[in-house]
Structure formats: C-alpha cells, structure tokens
Structure 1
C-alpha cells in the first residue's frame, strides 16, 4: 500500500493532477499506520498480518 501510494504521489506530481497526489498521500499514511500496528503485534481488522 505504501508503494502504491508513493507511485501515485509521484505520478500526480509529474502530471500535476491533484487528485492522484491526494490519494497517494492518503495511501502512504494509511499504509504506514497499518505497518506500525502490525509490527507491534496488534491485530488490526481481525488480522495480525497484512500482506
């Protein structure tokens, strides 16, 4: 999710499409939160690991 967000963010910046930049930023933040929660061993959404 973080890589997809980063890809959308870069494409959005180069093409100057603010919607892609916004969605990319949101995906990066959500992906980072899920990664941190998963690394601490906390179950998120009933799952301990998100692959």
Structure 2
C-alpha cells in the first residue's frame, strides 16, 4: 500500500506458492489493483531447508 494522507490505495500485489519457487534469486512480478501485470518486480532470494518432524 502506498502511504498518503487522505487514502491508502493499493500500489501493487503479488501472490506466489512458496513451495513452487526454486531456490536462488528470483524476480516476482507485481500486479495492479485490477490484476494487470505491471513493470514492477521484487528481487528475492529463495532458500529452503528440510526439517524432520
């Protein structure tokens, strides 16, 4: 959300299943409030570890 005095409009969003992302550096594309892909993206580093229950 962007920070404004009078309103708080959605700037961009993304939804990804974390179990489907491969380890390493990834760019996650962002969508606008209408669900249309934007030019924005997030660079994230994905690391996974297996724990035994």
The bucket for the TM-score relative to the shorter chain is under 0.3
Give TM-score, length-normalised by structure 2. Answer: 0.22
Which structure carries more strand by proportion? 2
